[in-house]
A = this chain, B = another copy of it.
Amino acid sequence: MEKISVAVLGATGTVGQKFISLLENHPFFEVTEVVASSRSAGKKYKDAVSWKQDRFIPENVADLIVKTTEDTLDSRILFSGMDAEVAGPAEEEYARRGHFVISNSKNHRMDKDVPIIIPEVNPEHFELIKVQPYKGAIITNSNCSTMFLAMVLAPLHKAFGVEKVFVSTMQAISGAGYPGVPSMDILGNVIPFIGGEEPKMECEAQKILADLKDGELVPAPFVVSAHCNRVAVFDGHTESVSVLFKNKPTVEQVKETLRNFKGIPQEKQLPFAPKQPILVFEEENRPQPARDVWKENGMAACVGRIRECSIFDIKMTVMGHNTVRGAAGAAILNAETLVALGYLN
């Protein structure tokens, strides 16, 4: 298969760098265009970027000349890690011109006709594209904290009906980008607040688990209450979760349901698909971000401490890699699924 040319929007930012790093040697996609602000325009990528990834800049990207949103792009698929300040109209304009914008930005997530996709959960929401007023399309992934909650709630909701969810997060610093959280604020500390995070966590999962009826999404009718905290962890968001169900399952039923969860990415063995999208831990003190964040190459939701809750039915700990499955990796899996389902033909 010939590789599909892709562009990365916001290519010098934290998410943009992650896209470029994760897409190195990707079997479907090849980064051939990088777009950033006018400040970087005309420079070689390696000169424009303040590279913060663990691996070196991929050779084929290092010498690409940075384009701006003014320039016409050749790639049909655009991975967007644009800042929320500019992503709104820019992504729309690209979609209008016929590009498929696979976006990690929050701007269009709650638009009526823009799906928040988790390919194992709601691939049928790709159909919304057809309702979009664009020649191309905008497809988003969820907020990094929502991702792991939604992955875990999805099979449970289907089996037992989720009614209420308490979630208290302990989120990694990489979620705030670079320079992000000052070290004086987080070293040996907890910050019990992350701007804008709780509202996202309280509504995105319902949209992901929505029913698609007559071209419209009917949100899943459960309620989420979120407490969001920042902790001194590099990568990996950990979440304490309590769930009330319509039909109370046993602890064993929950484990089995999560372990058996699979979807299109697994069937089609997509490159970024985790073999096991949800890993269930039996150890009493797992999952842990520093130990488990790279399980399944950072693409799994890790779940442990599944037990009875004295107020709701079940409580557990959920953890996942916030910048891989929770951001750039999620978008890449979305693009892989889009291709695999033939939406690009």
Q: Which residues of A line the B interface, CB within 8 A?
A: 52, 54, 164, 166, 168, 170, 173-174, 178-193, 202, 223-225, 227, 229, 231-234, 236, 238, 240, 242, 284-292, 294, 304-305, 309-312, 315, 317, 319
Chain B residues positioned under 8 Å from A185 (CB to CB): 179, 183, 288
The answer for the CA separation of A202 and B308 in the assembled complex, in Å, is 13
Task: Find out whether the CB atom of B170 lies under 8 angstroms from the CB atom of A170.
Answer: yes
Task: Find out whether the CB atom of B310 lies under 8 angstroms from the CB atom of A192.
Answer: no
Q: A182 and B188 in contact (CB under 8 A), knowing A164-B311, A225-B242, A225-B310?
A: no
The answer for the CA separation of A160 and B113 in the assembled complex, in Å, is 44
Q: A188 and B187 in contact (CB under 8 A), knowing A179-B179, A311-B164, A311-B166?
A: yes
| 6 nearest A-B pairs in the assembled complex, by CB-CB distance | A168-B168, A227-B240, A189-B290, A179-B182, A192-B317, A193-B285
Specify which of B179, B191, B240 is in contact with A184 (CB 8 Å cutoff): B179
The answer for the CA separation of A232 and B189 in the assembled complex, in Å, is 7
Specify which of B174, B187, B193, B287 is in contact with A192 (CB 8 Å cutoff): B287
The answer for the CA separation of A291 and B182 in the assembled complex, in Å, is 14
Task: Find out whether the CB atom of B183 lies under 8 angstroms from the CB atom of A232.
Answer: yes
Specify which of B54, B184, B232, B305 is in contact with A294 (CB 8 Å cutoff): B54
Residue contacts A-B, CB under 8 angstroms, 26 given: A52-B184, A52-B291, A54-B294, A168-B240, A173-B187, A178-B182, A180-B184, A181-B182, A183-B232, A184-B234, A187-B234, A188-B188, A188-B234, A188-B290, A190-B236, A191-B288, A192-B240, A192-B285, A192-B286, A202-B310, A223-B310, A225-B242, A225-B309, A225-B312, A229-B317, A234-B290
Task: Find out whether the CB atom of B192 lies under 8 angstroms from the CB atom of A304.
Answer: yes
Specify which of B190, B236, B312, B319 is in contact with A233 (CB 8 Å cutoff): B190
Specify which of B183, B202, B312 is in contact with A186 (CB 8 Å cutoff): B183
Q: What residue in chain B is nearest A287 (Cβ atoms)?
A: B192
Q: What residue in chain B is nearest A285 (Cβ atoms)?
A: B193
